[in-house]
């Protein structure tokens, strides 16, 4: 048998990379578990955090049967406290537990309260660049198992070298600082906004609006046995401003921040399905909104709640969209005063119907890293009801002095010009 011919010619080199344009990224679907109250009396007290995520992943696949699981290119799951049942590279371990093929990779991500939001923007960037076609992004926080700050060891130089004020490490204290900086943002206004959040959430539930994206989730307890979570646990319907006026102010004597005008300590998970516009068409998936752009910005950690203001300003400047063109806004209600600071900056009334039409985190809860996708899933539902609205915003404040904002375009926009 003759030997293969040899040649002194150098091996062929690949040609130059082909020029590519960014692809449109679309939000196809989003789900969440019912949110629970953190602690031994909460419905998820003895339920694992990663199992909450798994339930969301499985539901996304069930609701979108034309998506072959092997087509998922990445699973990005956020958690603020990445240890225990929120550890072990959560995106990968949750993907395996959910039954996705072993070929599907995953990772964990942390940007405190904006974890899920960052999971979305990070993987969306990969879709836009052509690295992914299909991703699942979300977040989880089991604050009953992992209270905020548990296991942390902040570098003492942060305070010793006056890089931050000590209050920057206590989120409730940062909300009190906003009240100090903007005295016109009174406790009375904060309480009134909190009551409105409870009222709007209760009305949305009564109309059957919230339930469509809640994933019934199995719970277990050594004494109570098995259960099924089908509704959010934190809301307090019927709350009045008189009720809130007498609550104690735990972060400062005679302060203004209370358990009534702030989000609670909660457990819950979220997940959403993102694809390129072309892939959605190929797989028979229906886009509900298109990502226009996103931005994150830093602020003084002592007043971290004002973060949505510069993040939104940066986003609007980059996209060329004016705030008057944004017909729907989902802003996370970590504290009423930070929402009021955002509204005042943009000249929006406290009770503007464009803002959190179904209430917000003060009513439904804020399981830290999961909340960003709740905002997006809710906005997608608003878009379905409002084809006259073209643009919507999801925005939130972030611990240690940041804000995040994502601008979306309604996939069902009918060409109307609603504000």
Task: Report the catalytic residues.
Answer: 113, 366, 397
Q: Give the pairing of strands 326-331 and 391-398.
A: parallel
Buried b (16+ CB within 10 A) or exposed e, 266-286: bbbbbbbbbbbbebbeebebe
Q: Is 359 exposed, middle or buried (0-12, 13-18, 19+ CB in 10 A)?
A: buried
Q: Where are the alpha helices (DSSP H) in 98-228?
A: 115-129, 157-160, 171-181, 187-206
The per-residue b/e assignment along 37-57, b for 16 or more CB within 10 angstroms, e otherwise, is bbeeebbbbebbbbbbbbbbb
Q: Residue 52: CB partners within 8 Å, gap ≥ 6?
A: 33, 44, 140, 142, 217, 267, 268, 269
CA of residue 268 relative to chain centroid, distance: 11
SS3 of 357, please?
coil
Which DSSP letter does residue 363 get? H
DSSP class of 133: S
Q: How far apart are CA 60 and CA 79, in angstroms?
A: 19
Helix and strand numbers (H, E) in the chain are 12, 12
Query: Can you tell me the distance from the alpha carbon of 248 to that of 170, in angstroms, rounded to the nearest whole number?
Result: 17
Instruction: Please state, as a whole number, how many other Cβ atoms lie within 10 Å of the Cβ of residue 206.
Output: 10
* Residue for token pair 């909660």: 266
């Amino acid at each position: 048998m003759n030997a293969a011919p040899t040649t002194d010619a150098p091996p062929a080199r690949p040609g130059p990379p082909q020029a590519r344009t960014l692809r449109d990224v679309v939000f196809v679907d989003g789900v969440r578990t019912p949110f629970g109250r953190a602690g031994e009396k909460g419905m998820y007290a003895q339920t694992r955090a990663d199992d909450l995520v798994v339930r969301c992943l499985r539901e996304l696949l069930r609701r979108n049967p034309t998506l072959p699981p092997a087509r998922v290119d990445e699973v990005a799951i956020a958690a603020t406290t990445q240890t225990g049942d929120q550890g072990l590279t959560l995106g990968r371990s949750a993907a395996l537990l959910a039954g996705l093929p072993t070929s599907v990779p995953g990772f964990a991500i942390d940007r405190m309260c904006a974890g899920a939001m960052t999971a979305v923007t990070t993987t969306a960037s990969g879709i836009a660049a052509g690295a992914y076609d299909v991703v699942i992004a979300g977040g989880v926080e089991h604050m009953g198992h992992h209270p905020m700050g548990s296991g942390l060891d902040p570098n003492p130089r942060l305070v010793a070298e006056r890089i931050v004020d000590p209050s920057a490490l206590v989120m409730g204290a940062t909300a009190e600082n906003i009240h100090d900086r903007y005295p016109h943002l009174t406790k009375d206004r904060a309480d009134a906004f909190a009551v409105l959040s409870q009222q709007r959430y209760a009305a949305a539930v009564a109309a059957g609006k919230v339930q469509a994206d809640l994933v019934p989730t199995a719970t277990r307890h050594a004494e109570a046995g098995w259960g099924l979570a089908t509704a959010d646990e934190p809301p307090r319907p019927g709350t009045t401003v008189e009720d809130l006026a007498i609550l104690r102010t735990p972060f400062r004597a005679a302060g203004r921040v209370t358990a009534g005008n702030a989000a609670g300590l909660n457990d819950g998970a979220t997940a959403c399905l993102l694809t390129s516009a072309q892939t959605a068409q190929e797989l028979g998936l229906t886009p509900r909104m298109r990502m226009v752009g996103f931005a994150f910005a830093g602020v003084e950690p002592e007043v971290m709640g004002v973060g949505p203001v510069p993040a939104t300003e940066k986003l609007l400047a980059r996209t060329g969209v004016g705030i008057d063109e944004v017909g729907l806004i989902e802003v996370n209600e970590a504290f009423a005063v930070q929402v009021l600071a955002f509204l005042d900056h943009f000249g929006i009334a406290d009770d503007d119907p464009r803002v959190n039409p179904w209430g917000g985190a003060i009513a439904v809860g804020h399981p830290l890293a999961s909340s960003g996708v709740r905002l997006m899933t809710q906005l997608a539902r608003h878009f379905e009801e409002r084809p006259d609205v073209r643009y919507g915003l999801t925005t939130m404040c972030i611990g240690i002095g940041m804000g995040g904002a994502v601008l979306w375009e309604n996939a069902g926009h009918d060409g109307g010009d609603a504000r």
